[in-house]
């Protein structure tokens, strides 16, 4: 037996060893880190858990497109990290409800409303406005910034123009009602000028803390409504400065105890020189070249906190306030150093430190916050925790410009989110942001939005065409068709695009490239469907549905498709509320077939009234319900569920195009008539009369002679006038 076994073993051929297939290592997510100014591989400190703090808004006015730039961009990044890369993201955001801007605006609003309630006589109002314009004129003379100067000039001129009708009314002794109307118009136009004047004179007398809390509470609520309208996910935790004053006081005290803060005249300042000279610490990590920029530092301190007295309290002009002793007309809280209020920079450090600890994975904010705000945050937090890495990755969104111009709330050059949403949908705004890198400047303009609208329409038409294809009845086996070379090629391209999308998302979440790859994939699908249609062969249903669902998934990850959306493919099952199309389409299809039959009979029997009713159903009635019918000669009517606003906009555009076509046709006919009339008038002139006062213009004479002879031959009665 053993010998036999050995013989068998000797005769058996040796099998080659199995080797794993050669492959490339998958790409890793890299994020642009402002701390290193490089794209760094993203590695959270605690496995898949990501701690993220985002600087929230200072709530004293309406949220604008600059806010949308940051919070939509961070929402996209957050969704991609959570839903694509499968990180467990804990997202914390603050609300700044104690700030110099809020204090000043709250006082101004309060004092202006008091002034309005006093109902000043028109003559007194006019005098007050003239008085209020005097400090504005001084500010205008002292302003070197050309943009600010232009803004102040516009304000001054607008108030002066509004004052002229009231001055005339008082001189002319007009009726009291007309005088009051003009006075109210001036009061509204001069609101900002009067508010500044009233605050300068009476602001120190405003002492009720509730006045300083009502304003931010109102605007915070508006901010949350705007974010919800933009489909921005709410934070996992929201912190308000007013609710964290005790934590801020303790945080500041620890900095003082560690030797990096000092008390001066009831305020507490951060000692930048002491911190920078300490081993293991450095000041100005994000923008070292900006250290010492006094203009930026003073803007960070706030308008109410920059004075000769406050500057004299500092050991160095580079030091910044951790805690501010409250002056008359400012809210205050008790603390070991006397009544005061938090500085701007300290709030984020204290609140983030309380919730996220001594080190976080991601800190986000707008590009303009790098210095001094975020550099000061880093310094004071590392001074508090005695470490050198409070933030691992600093992400800063790019600026937003408006038609190429700098957006600035202080210069009154901004568009509110509510105004933007009146012009475009939240999806269209988000697509515009997705078409630009999150860290680069984005220009909000008609061209930018037109690109977003065209992209939305392009994608939606693809989804609608695939849905129409899938509605064609087939039996169970008919769903699976033989693949030819065209299907294999499209499927290979599909996988190539998925690889390209993944690589783009790994490369600093490059959504611009992702959208381009998605567009290219749809273009290939459209060519495939067109070729199949030309060959009178049905496109492969399973392959196209798979591609459509993948594209829908990407748009959902980016937040461009809400749960209840007509764009893309439904994600719910047959019983889901999302399956609206499945519920209504059989009825719409029956209606379309009935209409097609009626139109055929109406054409055969020449009944234009019925054709008009059929067109009205297609063009006027169904679009109001979000239904588009597409008639194709010799083919069944295509039924598509489309967003109602999109259909109404298409209808208006079609009407405008038809009106423009009609206008151009009428204009062309009018020009032809004018040309023919001019030619006829010229033909009537005998050559001898035309050139009586001319010199020797033989060629012109002969041409006119020929033209006139032609007229004499064709005109009735021998051309007699």
pLDDT digits (tens, 9 = 90+) for 331-352: 999 999 999 999 999 999 999 9
Query: In sequence order, what E strands does 327-471 have?
Result: 340-342, 360-366, 391-397, 400-402, 405-406, 442-444
pLDDT of 11 strictly over 60: no
pTM of the model: 0.80
Provide the 10 A C-beta neighbour count for residue 138.
Answer: 10
Q: Report how far residue 260's alpha carbon sits from residue 275's, in angstroms, rounded to the nearest whole number.
A: 6
Task: Using CB atoms within 10 Å of the CB of residue 544, give its burial: 0 to 12 exposed, 13 to 18 middle, 19+ buried.
Answer: buried
- Which residues have CB under 8 Å from 660's CB, separation 6+? none
Q: Where are the alpha helices (DSSP H) in 424-445?
A: 426-434
pLDDT of 721 strictly over 50: no
Q: What are phi and psi of 237, to 5 degrees?
A: -145, 140
Q: What CA–CA distances, in Å, run from 602 to 143, 222, 591, 630? A: 75, 55, 16, 18
pLDDT of 716 strictly over 50: yes
pLDDT tens-digit profile of 107-129?
999 999 999 999 999 999 999 99
pLDDT at 574 (0 to 100)? 42
pLDDT tens-digit profile of 525-574?
999 999 998 988 889 999 999 999 999 999 999 999 976 566 776 654 44
pLDDT of 232 strictly over 50: yes
pLDDT tens-digit profile of 611-659?
888 888 888 888 888 888 888 877 788 888 887 888 888 888 888 888 8
pLDDT tens-digit profile of 648-706?
888 888 888 888 888 898 888 888 888 888 778 777 777 666 555 455 566 777 777 78
- Which residues have CB under 8 Å from 48's CB, separation 6+? 86, 87, 88
pLDDT tens-digit profile of 64-106?
999 999 999 999 999 999 999 999 999 999 999 999 999 999 9
Q: Where are the domains of the chain?
A: 100-206, 445-569, 581-642, 684-721
Q: Report how far residue 335's alpha carbon sits from residue 246's, in angstroms, rounded to the nearest whole number.
A: 8
Query: In sequence order, what E strands does 231-326 have?
Result: 237-240, 261-264, 267-270, 320-325
DSSP one-letter code for 718: G
| Long-range interactions of 336-340: CB distance < 8 A, separation 24+ | 336/249, 336/253, 337/263, 337/266, 337/267, 337/268, 338/266, 339/266, 340/266, 340/267
Rounded to a whole number, what is the distance in angstroms from the first to the last CA of the chain? 134
Q: Report how far residue 67's alpha carbon sits from residue 70's, in angstroms, rounded to the nearest whole number.
A: 5
pLDDT tens-digit profile of 366-421?
999 999 999 999 999 999 999 999 999 999 999 999 988 877 766 667 899 999 99
pLDDT of 517 strictly over 90: yes
Q: Report how far residue 19's alpha carbon sits from residue 38's, in angstroms, rounded to the nearest whole number.
A: 38
In 3D space, the residue among 45, 42, 40 whose CA is nearest the CA of residue 387 turns out to be 45
Structure tokens at 225: 């409504």
The kind and range of the H/E element at 95 are strand 88-95
């Amino acid at each position: 037996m053993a010998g036999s076994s050995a013989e068998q073993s000797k005769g058996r051929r040796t099998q080659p060893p199995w080797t794993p297939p050669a492959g490339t290592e998958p790409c890793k997510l890299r994020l642009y880190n402002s701390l290193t100014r490089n794209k760094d591989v993203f590695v959270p400190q605690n496995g898949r858990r990501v701690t993220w703090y985002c600087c929230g808004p200072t709530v004293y006015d309406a949220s604008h497109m600059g806010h949308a730039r940051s919070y939509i961009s961070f929402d996209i990044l957050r969704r991609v990290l959570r839903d694509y890369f499968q990180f467990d993201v804990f997202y914390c955001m603050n609300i700044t409800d104690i700030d110099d801007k809020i204090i000043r605006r709250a006082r101004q609003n309060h004092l202006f409303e008091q002034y309005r309630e006093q109902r000043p006589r028109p003559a007194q109002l006019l005098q007050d406005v003239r008085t209020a314009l005097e400090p504005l004129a001084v500010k205008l003379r002292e302003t070197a910034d050309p943009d600010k100067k232009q803004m102040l000039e516009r304000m001054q001129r607008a108030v002066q123009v509004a004052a002229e009708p009231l001055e005339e009314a008082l001189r002319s002794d007009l009726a009291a009602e007309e005088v009051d109307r003009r006075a109210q118009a001036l009061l509204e136009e001069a609101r900002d000028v009067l508010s500044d004047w009233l605050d300068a004179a009476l602001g120190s007398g405003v002492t009720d803390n509730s006045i300083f809390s009502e304003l931010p509470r109102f605007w915070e609520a508006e901010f949350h409504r705007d974010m919800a309208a933009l489909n921005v996910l709410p934070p996992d935790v929201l912190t308000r400065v007013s609710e964290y004053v005790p934590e801020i006081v303790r945080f500041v005290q620890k900095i003082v105890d560690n030797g990096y803060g000092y008390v001066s005249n009831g305020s507490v300042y951060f000692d930048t020189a002491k911190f920078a000279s300490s081993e293991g610490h450095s000041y100005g990590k994000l923008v070292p070249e900006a250290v010492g920029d006094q203009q930026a530092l003073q803007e960070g301190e706030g308008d109410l906190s920059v004075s000769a007295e406050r500057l004299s309290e500092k050991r160095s002009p580079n030091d910044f306030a951790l805690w501010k002793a409250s002056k008359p007309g400012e809210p205050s809280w008790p603390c070991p150093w006397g009544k005061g209020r938090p500085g701007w920079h300290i709030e984020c450090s204290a609140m983030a430190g309380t919730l996220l600890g001594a080190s976080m994975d991601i800190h986000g904010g707008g590009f303009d916050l790098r210095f001094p705000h975020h550099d000061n945050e880093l310094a004071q937090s590392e001074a508090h925790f005695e470490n050198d890495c409070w933030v691992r990755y600093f992400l800063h969104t790019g600026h937003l410009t408006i038609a190429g111009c700098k957006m600035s709330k202080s210069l009154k050059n901004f568009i509110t989110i509510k105004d933007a949403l009146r012009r475009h949908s939240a999806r269209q705004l988000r697509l515009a942001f997705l078409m630009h890198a999150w860290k680069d400047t984005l220009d909000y303009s008609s061209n930018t939005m037109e690109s977003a609208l065209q992209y939305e329409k392009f994608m939606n038409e693809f989804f609608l065409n695939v849905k129409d294809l899938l509605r064609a009845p087939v039996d169970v086996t008919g769903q699976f068709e033989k693949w030819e070379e065209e299907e294999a090629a499209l499927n290979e391209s599909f996988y190539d695009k998925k690889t390209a999308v993944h690589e783009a998302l790994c490369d600093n979440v490059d959504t611009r490239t992702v959208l381009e790859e998605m567009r290219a994939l749809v273009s290939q699908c459209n060519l495939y469907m067109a070729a199949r249609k030309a060959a009178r062969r049905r496109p492969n249903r399973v392959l196209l549905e798979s591609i459509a669902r993948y594209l829908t998934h990407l748009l959902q990850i980016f937040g461009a498709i809400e749960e209840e959306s007509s764009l893309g493919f439904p994600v719910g099952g047959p019983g889901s509320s999302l399956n609206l199309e499945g519920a209504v389409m059989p009825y719409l299809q029956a209606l379309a077939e009935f209409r097609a039959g009626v139109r055929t009979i109406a054409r055969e029997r020449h009944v234009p009234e019925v054709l008009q009713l059929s067109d009205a159903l297609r063009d006027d009635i169904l679009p109001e319900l979000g239904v588009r019918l597409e008639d194709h000669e010799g083919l069944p009517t295509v039924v598509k569920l489309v967003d109602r606003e999109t259909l109404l906009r298409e209808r208006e555009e079609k009407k405008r195009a038809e009106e423009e076509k009609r206008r151009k046709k009428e204009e062309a006919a009018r020009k032809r008539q004018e040309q023919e009339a001019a030619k006829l008038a010229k033909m009537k002139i005998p050559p001898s009369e035309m050139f009586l006062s001319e010199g020797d213009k033989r060629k012109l004479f002969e041409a006119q002679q020929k033209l006139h002879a032609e007229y004499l031959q064709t005109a009735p009665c021998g051309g007699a006038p």
